[in-house]
Structure 1
């Protein structure tokens, strides 16, 4: 998962950076750095995002297709 996809998913879910940080158990500053491409998304953060937001592989593929 890259920074662009991460940010798009967050926005589609109607969440701000503080909200997603709380859901994922990380700081808002880490979310900002991830979305700016300054920090990589760890496997654990990606797993939590998928689990907490109930993202299916199909939903992720559809979002990827839409954002090109």
Structure 2
């Protein structure tokens, strides 16, 4: 199957640019849902390290933490 020449190598008009640069676009971080919660992920500082234990008590006691 051969693609038509009218598509190959032709610029594609970007329709979202004006929204983005004027601040009228909605980003994922702008969305708020009912009962929405956030997660934080901590990665190891060491490659191929094995996790032996995690003490989460201080985190559980922090205000607003759901665990």
TM range (shorter): under 0.3
Q: State the TM-score, normalizing by the size of structure 1.
A: 0.20
Q: How high is the TM-score relative to the length of structure 2? A: 0.20
Of structures 1 and 2, the larger Rg is shown by 2
